[in-house]
């Protein structure tokens, strides 16, 4: 038997109907091993009632039963669910029963005594077929949702092979100014701008009809006659005979980008530069415009040479107000390093998130691509800043992180309070962990995440009985075994929520009682198999706990704590972290003193 294939039975609902008690109990116990959702009935009437309530995926039934036979029950089930998979088990090789089963539509027929392997093979075959159909339905639903999503978010139109419009979505109508009734049935050239080459209805269209995709820039015109420009993709839809039955067009409005490009072209044509210089710089500007439509042009020394309307508006300025000003007047941070990186990069650009000053004094945050523009001699002519406003997403992200941080801290304090331990313990552990994380070489961002997650290290104690948590003396063996389960309980609690911050907290909860030499719990991890977060919290937790009174012990003095860490170096604790504790003892003592218990 294929064990992996048998695992498909786990996700299915199975109904087993059999009147013979011994047979029923024996086969049901075997089926229960492979099927999580199993119902058993002793006669056809009871089986039908269960089926009507639950609509099982597979039915396995005997034929000869009191009250209602298996074939009558199967016929009723097929009336409720016409394609219901049913396996008939019978000790009779009677042709009449077989023909009756075929009339009902039952093609699965196994004689008694039942060959278990044969039954499992048949169940697996049916289960895999059911799963395949479910996957097909799921894919169909996803496809429909994707289609709705595309219609809602993209500019969509559809055409027949002759170029007549068969569908336009709302966004297409908004952009073009036409309504659907006016466009449906019209030819594609109705929406084309007069300046657009006729190739779209000639060679390009024929290429699409031959089954090829096409993408390019197209000029269209609105109902009022104004031009708009789209980045257009034509995709042929092929039928089962390999012929194009329709063409779907997805457009992206790039009118602003195109006009910016045209304006730069006009500006260059009016300049005194040579034709080669104009062509070269035009290619450079075009390359930048592909990255974004909010741009700022700055000379290498930092003087603003120009800006487009979108960026100027985002900062509350007129274009003329920005030109000739130093970039430092609107960018408070040091941008020179970004200029240097852009000029030194092989591809000539780099990215950075930096703040900009708005005209009203507020601050906006932009994700900026700095791109160097070189002249024909390879010298830096200017730096172009392609900007995207990320102020609001960053604000929301910060608020979410702060909310999670406060929630974790409060939950940590709740756990400590329930344990009748110091309420400031979790805060001190978090601060100690941050210091050690930075000193061991973790980035500031990683250390901040660790600091935020640290209060959750003992969350599993919510599942420990009060009589154990509050016991004033030393725990006996059984009590300590129960107490040790808080590490796994905490991990289980925190892994139920799929968030990056909480996944770190889950790891800490699980590993903060692991010992460096492998003698810890719950997994007996050793050395660097314990995550760096788990090793840091193990040190921070014990360092703080030893120096404060608990219900089961008095506070230790600093000399005793130092001696303990020295003796446990490489045994209970990571040697490198112990060295850092001893090196930064004064700083760690300040943390412990700054968050004293009241």
Mean pLDDT for 48-63 is: 91
- For the chain, what are the domain ranges? 3-134, 154-253, 258-389, 397-594
Higher pLDDT, 342 or 88: 88
Contact by Cβ (8 Å): 310, 410:
no
Percent of the chain with pLDDT over 90: 22
Of the two residues 50 and 400, the one the predictor is more confident about is 50
Domain 258-389 has CATH 3.30.450.20: yes
pLDDT value of position 144: 61
Are both 154-253 and 258-389 of the same fold? yes
Give tens-digit pLDDT for 225-274. Answer: 888 888 788 888 887 778 888 888 888 777 776 665 555 545 545 555 55
Q: How far apart are CA 447 and CA 494, in angstroms?
A: 19
Q: Does the annotation count 461 as an active-site position?
A: yes
CATH of 3-134, one of 1.10.10.410, 3.40.50.2300, 3.40.50.620, 1.10.10.10: 3.40.50.2300
Euclidean distance between CA atoms 126 and 98, whole angstroms:
20
Q: Work out whether strand 58-62 and strand 86-90 pair parallel, antiparallel, or are unpaired.
A: parallel
* pLDDT tens for each residue of 317-340: 888 888 888 888 888 777 777 777
CA distance 465 to 372: 65
pLDDT for position 497: 61
- The C-alpha atoms of residue 220 and residue 192 are separated, in whole angstroms, by 4
**What is the structure's pLDDT at 510?**
93
Quick one: average pLDDT of 9-37?
89
Please enumerate, as own/partner, the contacts of 412-416 that have beta carbons within 8 Å and a separation of 24 or more. 412/454, 412/455, 412/456, 412/457, 412/458, 412/459, 413/455, 414/462, 415/458, 415/459, 415/461, 415/462, 416/458
Q: Does domain 397-594 have CATH number 1.10.1040.10?
A: no
From its phi and psi, is residue 498 left (phi > 0), alpha (psi between -120 and 50) or beta?
beta
Give the list of residues 6+ apart from residue 482 with CB closer than 8 angstroms, or none: 464, 465, 468
Q: Which CATH number fits domain 154-253: 3.30.420.40, 3.30.450.20, 3.10.20.30, 1.10.3720.10?
A: 3.30.450.20
- Cβ(160)–Cβ(243) below 8 Å: no
Mean pLDDT value of segment 73-99: 80
Q: How confident is the model at residue 594 (pLDDT cuts 50, 70, 90)?
A: confident
> Is 2 in contact with 10 (CB distance < 8 Å)?
no
Q: Which of 461, 471, 526, 572 is catalytic?
A: 461
Report the alpha-carbon angle 212-216-217, nearest 5: 155
- Residue 510, C-beta contacts closer than 8 angstroms, at least 6 positions apart: 487, 488, 490, 491, 522, 523, 534
Please report the pLDDT score of residue 290 as a whole number. Answer: 43
Q: What is the pLDDT of residues 301-317, one digit of tens each?
A: 888 887 877 788 888 88
- 357's enclosing H/E stretch is strand 349-357
Q: Is residue 330 a contact partner of residue 342, using CB atoms and an 8 Å limit? A: no
pLDDT level of residue 50 (50, 70, 90 thresholds): very high
**CA 430 → CA 527, 563, 569, distances in Å?**
22, 23, 21
- pLDDT tens per residue across span 133-166: 887 777 666 556 555 545 555 688 889 988 899 9
Give pTM, 2 decimals. Answer: 0.39
Two structure tokens written together for 587: 């700083």
Across residues 470-499, what is the average pLDDT?
83
- Report the range out of 9-18, 151-160, 260-269, 280-289 with the highest average pLDDT: 9-18
User: Which of 195-204, 273-282, 347-356, 540-549 holds the top average pLDDT?
Assistant: 540-549
């Amino acid at each position: 038997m294929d064990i992996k294939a048998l695992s498909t039975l786990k996700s299915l609902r199975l109904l087993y109907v059999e009147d013979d008690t011994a047979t029923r109990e024996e086969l049901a116990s075997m089926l229960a091993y492979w099927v999580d959702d199993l119902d058993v009935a002793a006669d056809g009437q009871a089986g039908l009632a269960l089926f009507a309530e639950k609509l099982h995926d597979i039915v396995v039934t005997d034929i000869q039963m009191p009250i209602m036979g298996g074939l009558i029950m199967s016929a009723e089930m097929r009336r409720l669910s016409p394609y219901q998979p049913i396996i008939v088990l019978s000790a009779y090789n009677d042709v009449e029963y077989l023909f009756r089963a075929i009339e009902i539509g039952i093609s699965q027929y196994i004689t008694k005594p039942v060959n278990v392997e044969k039954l499992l093979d048949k169940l697996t075959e049916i289960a895999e077929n059911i799963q395949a159909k479910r996957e097909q339905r799921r894919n169909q639903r996803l496809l429909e949702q994707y289609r709705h999503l595309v219609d809602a978010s993209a500019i969509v139109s559809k055409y027949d092979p002759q170029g007549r419009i068969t569908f336009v979505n709302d966004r297409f109508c908004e952009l073009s100014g036409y309504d659907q009734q006016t466009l449906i049935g019209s030819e594609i050239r109705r929406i084309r701008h007069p300046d657009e080459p006729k190739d779209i209805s000639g060679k390009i269209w024929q290429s699409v009809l031959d089954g090829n995709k096409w993408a390019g820039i197209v000029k269209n015109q609105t109902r009022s006659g104004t031009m708009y420009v789209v980045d257009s993709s034509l995709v042929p839809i092929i039928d089962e005979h390999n012929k194009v039955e329709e063409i779907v067009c997805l457009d992206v409005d790039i009118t602003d980008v195109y006009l910016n490009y045209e304006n730069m072209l006009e500006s260059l044509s009016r300049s005194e530069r040579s034709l080669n210089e104009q062509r070269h710089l035009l290619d450079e500007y075009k390359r930048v415009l592909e990255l974004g439509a909010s741009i700022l042009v700055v000379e290498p020394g930092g003087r603003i040479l120009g800006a487009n309307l979108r960026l100027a508006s985002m900062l509350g300025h007129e274009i003329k107000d920005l030109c000739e000003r130093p970039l430092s007047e609107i960018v408070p941070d040091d941008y020179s390093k970004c200029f240097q990186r852009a000029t030194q990069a092989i591809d000539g650009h780099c990215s950075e998130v930096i703040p900009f000053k708005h005209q009203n004094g507020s601050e906006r945050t932009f994700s900026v691509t700095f791109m160097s523009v070189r002249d024909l001699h390879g010298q830096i002519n200017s730096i172009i800043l392609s900007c995207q406003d990320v102020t609001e997403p960053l604000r929301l992200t910060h608020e979410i992180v702060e909310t999670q941080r406060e929630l974790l801290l409060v939950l940590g304090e709740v756990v400590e309070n329930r344990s009748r331990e110091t309420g400031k313990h979790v805060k001190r552990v978090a601060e100690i962990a941050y210091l050690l994380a930075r000193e061991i070489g973790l980035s500031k961002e990683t250390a901040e995440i660790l600091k935020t997650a640290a209060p959750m290290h003992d969350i599993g104690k919510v599942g420990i009985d009060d009589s154990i948590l509050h016991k004033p003396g030393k725990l006996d063996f059984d009590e300590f075994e129960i107490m040790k389960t808080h590490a796994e309980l905490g991990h289980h609690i925190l892994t139920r929520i799929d968030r990056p911050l909480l996944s770190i907290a889950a790891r800490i909860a699980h590993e903060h009682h692991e010992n460096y030499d492998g003698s810890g719990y719950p997994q007996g991890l050793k050395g660097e198999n314990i995550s760096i977060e788990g090793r840091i919290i193990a040190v921070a937790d014990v360092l703080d706990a030893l120096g404060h009174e608990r219900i089961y012990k008095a506070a230790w003095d600093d000399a005793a704590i130092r001696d303990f860490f020295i003796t446990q170096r490489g045994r209970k604790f990571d040697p490198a972290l112990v060295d850092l504790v001893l090196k930064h003892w004064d700083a760690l003592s300040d943390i412990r003193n700054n968050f004293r218990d009241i």
